[in-house]
Amino acid sequence: MTITARLALTDAGEAADLSAFLLRLLRFDRAAAVRLQAVAPAEDDGVLAVFGRLPLGGSGALAIRTARLTGLGEPVDLTVSAGQLLDGVDGEAGTLALPAPVTGPAWAGLLPPRTGWRPVGAPPAAEVYPELMAGVREFRARSEAVPEHHRSRAVLDALADEIWSRPVAALPELPLRAVHAAYVIGFLKPGAPLTVHRVGGWLRLSAPAGSVAVRTVAAPGAGLGLSPLR
């Protein structure tokens, strides 16, 4: 792995959280790529944002994990292999080695805007979680009911899109897909405060551990995939 730079994370906890995030992404796609953006606000040392795509049916969601940095010489904006980035996390030293950039997938060129978000609502996790679990059970039952010789990727993706495109009862503007994505990436915890913001054709579901962004209009880069790779 060619190292292009090395970033200093603020503590071992940041390294552990970033590693867990990358591991979850790689369960869905062993060849996953992530987009990295690091900036240094005037009042802080620096913040790294890591964007990864979760393929959930024919559409996807972007999971966003941030990490605090100690010092940042130059801004960072590149797309890299998630697996190589995971290899570059040094928990003991509290550093992150950035691998050489790769040719990014289409979604990496269409990220949510940084500013302009307006609040939409704050759905209670206690109401959202049971609705999510009902969708998970429904998908499992209906997919298992499909005869094996008809259980193609296209059929499963269509079923997933039907379920995850449904509106959340507590906030109909939000598709269940965003909640599902937050759950599978480890952001959705029972009792965690949730907030939803919108800008243009984007919706963002935020929790203390990270955010998920989904487009409410068709976007390039939609791919296949439903289940984590084992």
Instruction: Identify the three-state secondary structure at position 59.
Output: strand
Does 10 lie in the same domain as 105? Answer: yes
Q: Does the residue 228 lie in any domain?
A: no
Does 105 lie in the same domain as 81? Answer: yes
Q: Chain-wide mean pLDDT for the chain? A: 88
pLDDT of residue 4: 73
Does 104 lie in the same domain as 73? Answer: yes
Does 184 lie in the same domain as 162? Answer: yes
Is the distance from CB of 40 to CB of 28 less than 8 angstroms?
no
In which domain, by residue range, is 94 found?
Answer: 3-109
230 pLDDT tier (thresholds 50, 70, 90): very low
- Which pair of tokens denotes residue 207? 């929790």
Distances (CA, A) of 114 to 2, 49, 138, 196: 30, 11, 35, 15
* Average pLDDT of the segment spanning 82-106: 93
Does 147 lie in the same domain as 85? Answer: no
In this predicted model, what pLDDT tens digit does every residue of 9-52 receive, in sequence order? 998 889 999 999 999 999 988 999 999 999 876 566 789 999 99
Q: What is the number of residues in the chain?
A: 230
- Distance between terminal CA atoms of the chain? 24
User: Cα separation of 109 and 90, whole Å?
Assistant: 28
**CB-based contacts of 53: which residues, under 8 Å, 6+ apart?**
32, 60, 61, 62, 63, 105, 107, 221, 223
121 pLDDT tier (thresholds 50, 70, 90): very high
Q: What's the pTM value of the predicted model, to 2 decimals?
A: 0.88
Other C-beta atoms closer than 10 Å to the C-beta of 63 total: 24
Residue 221 has pLDDT above 60, yes or no: no
Residue 61 has pLDDT above 60, yes or no: yes
Residue of 57 and 82 predicted with greater confidence = 82
Residue of 1 and 68 predicted with greater confidence = 68
Residue 161 has pLDDT above 60, yes or no: yes
